[in-house]
Amino acid sequence: MTATVLAVFCIVYLGMILGGLPFLQLDRTGVALLGAIALIGIEAVSPEAAAKSIHIPTLMLLFSFMVISAQMRLGGFYAWVTHRLAALPMAAPQLLAALIAIVALLSAVFSNDIVCLTVAPVLMDTCVKRRLDPVPFLLALACAANVGSAATLIGNPQNMLIGETLKLSFGGYFAQALAPVLLGLAATWALIAWQTRGRWTLPETAAARLPAVDAPAGAAAGLDRWQTAKGLAVAGVLVAVFLFLPAWPRDVAALTGAGLLLTSRKLHSRRMLGLVDWELLILFIGLFVVNHALQQTGIVSGIVAGLGAAGVNLAQPAPLFAAILVLSNIVSNVPAVMLLLPFATHTLAGQTLALVSTLAGNLLIVGSIANIIVVDAAARRGIGIPWRRHAAVGVPVTLATLAICAASLWWRAQPAS
C-alpha cells in the first residue's frame, strides 16, 4: 500500500508542476481531487481520516474572504479605485509608484488574485487612453499584488493556511513582515522604473490596434457606495478583531462577517457565491488528503531524518528558506507550503514560509496565480507578455525582495544582546 500511496502522491504533484496531466482534461484542482478520491477508493485513507485531515479553519477563512471580495467586486470598488488612480495628474514613474502602493494595500486585506483579476482590464484601458505602455504597469500590478499580500496572514491562500495551522499572531506577523514588504515594494518600483526609463509611451499605431476591454465578470456598473461601504466596514472590523481580539478565532470572526454580507436585500446570494473560487477550495481539500496519506506512510519522516543526518535540518530557518523557495517554483506555493508545514517548528518558521513562498511567486509566470491572471488578461486584450519579458522583471524583483527578506530574518534570528 505504501508504494501505491507514493505513486498517487507523485502523480498528483506532477500535475501540480505541469498544471494538469497529459491526455486528460484535468487542471491542478482536478488532479488533486482525483488523487484524494483514488486514495479513499483503494482504502489507503478512510473517509473519516480524510475528513479529519482537512483543516476546516483555513477553508472557513479562505471562503469568508472570497465572499468579502465578491462584495467589493459587485460594488464596483476595484474598478472605481483603478479609474481614480489612472486619472491622477502624475508622470508615469509617479503613477507607477501610486499603482504599486494601492495594489499592495488592497492585496494585504483582500485576495491578491482577485485584485489582479479586477484591476488588470481597467488598468489596460486607462493606460491606452493615456498612451502609456501598459506592460510595465501590468508587471507592476502582478509583482505588487504578490509582495503586498505577504504583509498579512489574510493576503493570500498560503498565508491563511500558515497562520491558521501554526496559530500565528496576526499583529505579531504584520509587525515582522511590514519592513521587508515595504522595502520590497520600493525595490519593485525602482527596478521597473529603471528598466522602463525613456520607454513609457505607447505608439499611437499600437494603441489603435488594441481591441476594447470587456468589463470583468461580476463587476457592477459604476460604484455602488452602499455595497462598497458594507464590504469595507466588514473588512475593517475584521482586521481590528484580528489585531485586538486574538481570543476570537479568526475563521469564526471572518465567517460571521461573510454571513452579514450574504444577508442582503439587493445582492442575491447566487451572485455572491458565484464569485467564490470553489476550485481553489477543492484544491485545498484534495491536497490535505493526499499529503495526509503520504505522512502516514512514514516516507516523509524518513527523508527528513536522512537530510538531518546529512546536516540539512528543515526545522532551521536557512534550509527551510531554501526548500520553500525551490518548491514554490516547482509545484507552486500552496502545495509547497502544505508539504513543509509539518517541519515549521522554529520560532521564525511561520514568517519564513509566508514571506518566502509569496515573494518567490514573482520569479516566473507560473510561480503564482496572480501572474497568470495578469498575463492572460493582457493576451485577451492583444498585449503579449512572453515569459522572457516577465522574467526580465520577475527575476530581479524576486532576488531583491528575497535578499531583503533574508536580511530581515537573519537580523531577527540574532540573539538579543
Residue pair 114/73 in contact by the 8 Å Cβ criterion: yes
The mean per-residue pLDDT over the stretch 92-102 comes to 96
Burial state string for 74-84 with b = 16 or more CB within 10 A and e = fewer than 16: bbbbbbbbbbe
* Residue with the larger pLDDT of the pair 57 and 306: 57
Predicted confidence band of residue 48 (pLDDT cuts 50, 70, 90): very high
The pLDDT of residue 220? 42
| Residue 209 confidence (pLDDT) above 80 | no
Q: How confident is the model at residue 218 (pLDDT cuts 50, 70, 90)?
A: very low
Least confident among 174-178, 289-293, 294-298: 294-298
pLDDT band at 397 (very low <50, low <70, confident <90, very high): very high
Q: C-alpha angle 55/59/65, rounded to 5°?
A: 150
Q: Give the whole-angstrom CA distance, residue 110 versus residue 70.
A: 10
Q: What's the maximum distance between 2 C-alpha atoms anywhere in the chain? A: 65
- Which pLDDT belongs to residue 99? 96
Quote the pLDDT of residue 111: 80
Asked whether residue 315 carries a pLDDT value surpassing 70, the answer given is yes
Q: What are the extents of the domains in the chain?
A: 2-413
Residue 57 has what pLDDT?
93
pLDDT band at 416 (very low <50, low <70, confident <90, very high): low
Residue 327 has, within 13 A of its CA and on its CB side, a CA count of: 19
Q: How confident is the model at residue 403 (pLDDT cuts 50, 70, 90)?
A: very high
Given a cut of 70, whether residue 347 has pLDDT beyond it is yes
Which one is predicted more confidently, 8 or 315?
8
Instruction: Write the pLDDT tens digit of every residue in 159-176.
Output: 999 999 999 999 999 999
Quick one: pLDDT at residue 282?
Answer: 93
Mean pLDDT of all residues in 349-363: 93
Encode pLDDT of 231-288 as tens digits.
999 999 999 999 999 999 999 999 999 999 999 988 899 999 999 989 989 999 999 9
Question: How many Cβ atoms from other residues are within 10 Å of residue 57's Cβ?
Answer: 19
pLDDT of residue 212: 53
pLDDT at residue 204 in the model: 63
What Cα–Cα distance (Å) separates residue 57 from each residue in 37, 155, 164, 259?
22, 16, 7, 16
In this structure, how many other beta carbons lie within 10 angstroms of the beta carbon of residue 198? 5
At 219 the pLDDT is 45
Q: Is the pLDDT of residue 377 over 80?
A: yes
Q: What is the pTM of this model?
A: 0.87
Share of the chain above pLDDT 70, in %: 95
> What secondary structure, in 3-state letters, does 285-351 show?
HHHHHHHHHHHHHCHHHHHHHHHHHCCCCCCCHHHHHHHHHHHHCCCCHHHHHHHHHHHCCCCCHHH
